[in-house]
Amino acid sequence: MMKSAAHRPSHIRESVGDRIFQAVILFLSVLLILVVAYPLYFTVIASFSKPEDVLLGRVLFWPKNFSVESYQMVIAESSIWMGYGNTILYTVLGTAVNLALTTMMAYPLSCKETPFRGTLTFVASFTMLFSGGLIPTYLLVRQLGMYNTIWAMLLPTGIATYNMLVMKNFFQSSIPGELKEAAYLDGCTDLQTLFRVVLPLSGSIIAVMVLFYAVAHWNEYFNALIYLKDRSRMPLQVILREILLQNQELAQGDGTGLYEKMMAAETMKYAIIIIASVPVICLYPFVQKHFVKGVMVGAIKG
């Protein structure tokens, strides 16, 4: 008589080779996690340690001589909060501009009725391989009157071609054409169909785009160095860069109070890194549940 399913083995016995392979993979995974996570952990414990202990290499796994002096110095530094405010402004407005422009370009290219859809998609994709270059872009920004204004931080990076293609593929593969046809039959225009039908069903890809664009704006510093000249408009990342460069210059200079200045710069460096990273870390949990779905579905070739 054939044995019932209840009496069958609950699992297939693994060979010695399989166990060795899994052990090696586990070891390499743990090693990779430690290599990636330790610098982040070191930054945290260094920000709560005395700078002398950090410079002398005494801080390895736990803070030495626990201190919040670095955070007190950051709070007292007005330029840091000025840069923080500028970065928040550029991130919020920039992400809004990115989402609007990317959606307005991705949706028409996802519709089969759009004339020359293939040609326009090719032209957009071509910019991922070739661009005008830094100098022509800089001259264009100056001629358009955007130099040293907030628009220089928003419009030149208005659309990321890769993100636009991901959103376009999402619209093609995840939004049923029957829904759009029903909307047209009910008298909706293209814009009404986009805002009333398509976007309410696109929460996953919108969350992914918000994360991609917000992180890019939050970490932006190169465009600020090129297009901005007033320090009052500089984002936080540029201020952090100045502190890092100042720390290197102080280490090579001499004069009264050199040691105290070098210690102050070293202490503030780690605290600023933590403060600059907190908003992005706080944003990720809210979009994480949509992240994998949006990327996987949007990455399907359309």
- What does the pLDDT look like over 8-18, one tens digit per residue? 455 566 677 77
- What does the pLDDT look like over 86-145, one tens digit per residue? 999 999 999 999 999 999 999 898 888 888 888 888 888 888 888 778 888 899 999 998
Q: How confident is the model at residue 251 (pLDDT cuts 50, 70, 90)?
A: low
pLDDT at 248: 59
pLDDT at 253: 55
Long-range interactions of 12-15: CB distance < 8 A, separation 24+? none
Is the torsion defined by CA of 228, 232, 237, 239 positive or negative? positive
Give 149 or 296, the one with higher predicted confidence: 149
**Does 252 have pLDDT greater than 80?**
no
**Does 195 have pLDDT greater than 90?**
no
Q: How does the average pLDDT of the chain come out, rounded? A: 80
**Does 258 have pLDDT greater than 50?**
yes
Which residue from 24, 86, 30 is spatially nearest to 224, judged by alpha carbons?
86
Q: How confident is the model at residue 2 (pLDDT cuts 50, 70, 90)?
A: very low
Calpha distance 84→95 (Å, rounded): 16
pLDDT at 250: 58
- Percent pLDDT > 70 in the chain is 82
pLDDT at 128: 84
pLDDT at 273: 81
**Does 152 have pLDDT greater than 60?**
yes
Give 131 or 162, the one with higher predicted confidence: 162
Give 78 or 138, the one with higher predicted confidence: 138
Calpha distance 170→172 (Å, rounded): 5
Q: What is the DSSP string of 171-224?
A: HHHHS-HHHHHHHHHTT--HHHHIIIIIGGG-HHHHHHHHHHHHHHHHT--HHH
